[in-house]
Structure 1
């Protein structure tokens, strides 16, 4: 219990307010609801697995059962996964919660670094409810997330050893295209020491140590995309850490293919194993390439561990 309290304290110290505001967690297949003095909150599960997951919150006023509208900016969601010896959070986009066209119903999107049993605190104003939930493992053929590293970018892991910091490239969407081919969008995040914050990657982001010191400042980062590992194009990133690039091939519905992505942070090349780029002529064997299997309209995702 003391360990859990310690890491919750770390979360308050390390997590940026906007990130902590939108932290979310996975849902079990049955859904759940819980009452507060002002609101009843029901969590309606969608497709819940490692990587991109979506679900809804249905919020009603406890006084009369009417839909509670206009709360998207006031809903705080804080995820926590208990690993036994330590706890951690997950990666959440800044636009994780939005109000749907149905009054009182809120659409939520989050990106899980791993599957397992989670809890989530849902806070509206001064009212908080806690929900126990489960997120599945990604076992499909499409890629849900690729982790990139660099041996010079280190943090202290929960066992006290130094480890290479992960930069997560999550598959967000693959949409049709004509002029420049289909467009792949990825959501990009990294991790803070203590694993209580997995912030979206943005220029100016400061990555903090558990002692409150700045370990690394993200001055800039770039992503490139290729459909063959030979011709590369720059990806365009928005303010919500989603980066889009075109594959120069118009995928038909159900068609599967391969995309290669390259990441640099502050001018340094990041690789799948953290070692120096091996410059392999085979794009699938080049460790500087994040290899994505993608399907137009597909949702059957595979992933690795945290």
Structure 2
């Protein structure tokens, strides 16, 4: 087995999909000037010109939202509205390939411009060491599906915590080697807002089914459906948030994997603090190490810095 370099171009359709060699395994429509780029910036398919716009939030480990503008391939001037676009993120590493949790793509208030949200599990490089290549595969549905692929550079999270992981105790799944392993649950910071004494913390929670599947966790999710060794029918989910790991507030389910806790105190504007998150599924409390809760391993820790007060 040996590493493969990925080509930095993609002009794709159903008749010309570039093969990839593997060695293993709400806001306005103007993107922020985050210095975020992808290669290439424009892809032509048979019918469309697909342009990757700078991300609304810089492509970074954790939650990331970017825009794509779709126009006609012939002139590049006619916005293509009402399209159904699906997103498939892939991280190509030397020894494995894996996907990442996502919300998906929907058309914004600007015709022909689509907003896509996903949750990167890892950066492209860490402390100067390349980890792999992220690939974003956009499929435009039609009588014949058309595909555009972009390769963003995903930055390492710095400062505040963008994601955390908890594990099942008796909640397990079967991995690719046929071994029974703890199921991973990923908690992503989505938003921290409010004022001192009454902050609101929104999280996106996803569960692992396999290296290629991380569905959003809802109170009606069925994980690994049809797999006799790994299937889990979710009947209850409890997400709790605390600023002192002693007094807990239950988060409200907002839908699509999003959960929000309100009325949080113990934080100060402009000052770094900590929020703790507990997760229970079907009555089982998840832990940092997959062992029974012992008071220390029973929650994830998020370092957070509330925005400074503005005059």
User: What interval of TM-score do these two structures reach, taking the shorter chain for normalisation?
Assistant: 0.7 to 0.9
Q: Normalization by structure 2: what TM-score?
A: 0.76
Distance (Å, rounded) in 2 between the aligned partners of 1:297 and 1:197? 34
Is the 8 Å Cα contact of residues 168 and 287 (structure 2) preserved in structure 1? yes
Distance (Å, rounded) in 1 between the aligned partners of 2:173 and 2:21? 20
Residue 248 of structure 1, aligned match among 230, 240, 265: 265
Deviation at 1:238, TM superposition (A): 1.3
Q: 1:137 to 1:48 in 2, by over 3 A?
A: same
Q: Normalization by structure 1: what TM-score?
A: 0.77
The runs of 5 or more residues in structure 2 that have no matched partner are: 1-18, 26-35, 125-132
Which residue does the alignment assign to 1:110? Answer: 118
The CA RMSD over aligned residues, in Å, is 2.8
Alignment of 1:35 onto 2:35: no
User: Whose radius of gyration is greater, 1 or 2?
Assistant: 2
The count of corresponding residues between Structure 1 and Structure 2 is 265
The 5 Å alignment of 1:80-91 reads 80-91=90-101
Is the 8 Å Cα contact of residues 138 and 149 (structure 2) preserved in structure 1? yes
Measured against aligned partners, the alpha-carbon deviations of 1:145-188 in whole angstroms (never above 9, x if no partner) come to 1101123122233444332111011000001147x601010000
Q: 1:161 to 1:209 in 2, by over 3 A?
A: farther
Residue 174 of structure 1, aligned match among 192, 202, 209: 192
Larger helix percent: 1
The 5 Å alignment of 1:58-137 reads 58-71=69-82, 74-93=84-103, 96-116=104-124, 117-125=133-141, 126-137=145-156
Deviation at 1:69, TM superposition (A): 4.3
Which residue does the alignment assign to 2:207? Answer: 190
Q: 1:287 to 1:214 in 2, by over 3 A?
A: closer
**4+ runs of 1 displaced by more than 6 Å?**
1-4
Which residue does the alignment assign to 2:5? Answer: none
Measured against aligned partners, the alpha-carbon deviations of 1:29-84 in whole angstroms (never above 9, x if no partner) come to 56621101111101123201111112110111123322424336x01111222233
Distance (Å, rounded) in 2 between the aligned partners of 1:130 and 1:153? 35
Residue 241 of structure 2, aligned match among 222, 225, 231: 225
Distance (Å, rounded) in 1 between the aligned partners of 2:194 and 2:20? 51
| Bigger RCO (CA 8 Å, 6+ sep) | 1
The runs of 5 or more residues in structure 1 that have no matched partner are: 8-26, 280-285, 299-306
Q: 1:3 to 1:206 in 2, by over 3 A?
A: farther
SS in 2 for 1:153: strand
